[in-house]
Amino acid sequence: MTLAQLCLLVACVLPIACAGLAKSKGFGKRRREGGFDNNQPREWLARLEGWQARANAAQANSWEALPVFIAGLFVAHQHQAAQGTVDALAAGFVAARLAFVGLYVADKASLRSLVWVAGLVTCAALFFVR
């Protein structure tokens, strides 16, 4: 398994981890006490506030970023790009996404936007590496 493939796995699991983080405060409570409602999970998530709501938003953004990353890896593979370069870009993307989630949950909007751009740049670079 290459580092890029491992990064792909991490990127695929990241939205699920964000969802777990968003739901984490409600897992120990009964539904009538405001705990997680598995019968209506989307409605329950829509009522979240603060860091939990931001974790849920990070989940949605992680799903949105994933196809661009996958496409970039696919194109780099089709171009038979140097594996070391692909690995470095993939690791950069994952690092940016992890920082993005942390900054989103911490409510650091400006820094979050900056690392979002960094992640997008790594994806774009995957389309042009040889």
The DSSP line for 62-94 is HHHHHHHHHHHHHHHHHTT--HHHHHHHHHHHH
- State the pLDDT at residue 101: 98
What does pTM read for this prediction? 0.90
Give dist(CA 99, CA 79) in Å, integer.
Answer: 29
> At residue 91, what are phi and psi to the nearest 5 degrees?
-65, -40
Give dist(CA 98, CA 71) in Å, integer.
Answer: 19
* Averaged pLDDT for residues 116-124: 98
Spans of all domains in the chain: 3-22+51-126
* Averaged pLDDT for residues 25-50: 75
- State the pLDDT at residue 65: 98
- State the pLDDT at residue 24: 85
Residue 25 pLDDT exceeds 90: no
